[in-house]
Amino acid sequence: MAKQYARCKADMDTAWWDYAPRSQHENWEARDSKGTWDTPPATVSLSIRSAGHTKDRFALPESWLDYVARLNGGKDADEFKALMRKAGGWNNVGDIENPKVESLAWWGSVLEIQGIEGNYAAISSFRHRNPPPNSTSVNYDNNPEVVHQFTAISGQGIMRLLGSGYRAYSVLISREQLYVPLDRIELFPKLPREVKTLADLDTYQSPPRNGQLTKNKTKLTAGQWVKVFDYAVRATDVWGLTLQGWIALAIGSPSRFLTTWEMETRPAV
């Protein structure tokens, strides 16, 4: 069975913020030392059922804190320090010595969908009681469905990096099953699906892993129709499995579509 993914929508795509950037909403009260915070984190709240579909929040185990630090260049790196700001990275993270994480994703984040339950989608995540993986193999480039890149949103509705341009990464981690409201996501197009290539495309034995790809001998020509049976996500890119091999469906941010496969919601910047 094909994996099902979704991408988190922007403020302007949902009724949560009246279809406008949150800093323009009348109830927006976030402040920084200079006054109104005009480019806040573009958070998407995820929930647990035991808390009445409100956010999960808990102290991050030391082993997971170390994992997050490795993803961000170490505990002395500006990217990691930016995550630990009380109103910066994870909302209400507290102090760096005793961080608490909330169940959050971001505008452009990919989520792996496990099933639909009413107005919510159950999603995959790390569990805090399990040991963290190796950061050289499980990271944003290889697993953007559980390692997310922070994004922020300007008052003009433009996606930004965190703070003064930090490319920082968080982990999707919880104590139990996580859910996302269906109106906060755009589901990937259902598979199997026929698509037409918009350019000559190489085919590959597998999607990239740590940047490595092995080409097949088969090459698709522009205008050729193929059927996509499964997805893989790598950083901002979406890959599809065809009978001829794996092909890139969309690359970069905003997405450049290489076939007639399309989505409206953009990946993280």
Read off the pLDDT of each residue in 192-208 and give the average, rounded to a whole number. 96
Read off the pLDDT of each residue in 22-31 and give the average, rounded to a whole number. 66
**DSSP states along 1-30:** ---EEEEEPPGGGSGGGTTS-GGGSTT---
Closest C-alpha among 19, 133, 124 to residue 70: 133
Q: Tell me the C-alpha distance between 127 and 199, whole Å.
A: 41
**What mean pLDDT is reported for the chain?**
88
Please give the model's pTM, rounded to 2 decimal places. 0.91
Beta bridge partners of 101: 58
Which structure tokens are listed for 138?
């499980």
Gyration radius of the chain's alpha carbons: 19
Which structure tokens are listed for 180?
């996302």
Tens-place pLDDT, residues 117-146: 999 999 999 999 999 999 999 999 999 999
Q: Is the pLDDT of residue 195 over 90?
A: yes
Domain boundaries, the chain: 4-187, 193-257
Higher confidence at residue 179 or residue 22? Answer: 179
3-state secondary structure (DSSP) of residue 241: strand
- From first CA to last CA, the distance across the chain in angstroms is 30
pLDDT at 26: 67
Q: Is the pLDDT of residue 86 over 60?
A: no
Read off the pLDDT of each residue in 27-34 and give the average, rounded to a whole number. 54
3-state secondary structure 150-171: CCEECCCCCEECECCCECCEEE
Q: Tell me the C-alpha distance between 27 and 31, whole Å.
A: 12
pLDDT at 35: 46
Q: Between the ranges 16-30, 52-66, 95-109, 198-212, where is the mean pLDDT highest?
A: 198-212
Fold for the domain defined by 193-257: SH3 type barrels. (2.30.30)
Report residue 33's pLDDT band, with 50, 70 and 90 as the boundaries. very low
Q: How many beta carbons lie within 10 A of that of residue 263, not counting itself?
A: 18
Tens-place pLDDT, residues 145-187: 999 998 988 888 889 887 778 899 999 999 999 999 999 999 9
The proportion of the chain whose per-residue pLDDT surpasses 70, expressed as a percent, equals 89
Q: Tell me the C-alpha distance between 149 and 164, whole Å.
A: 15
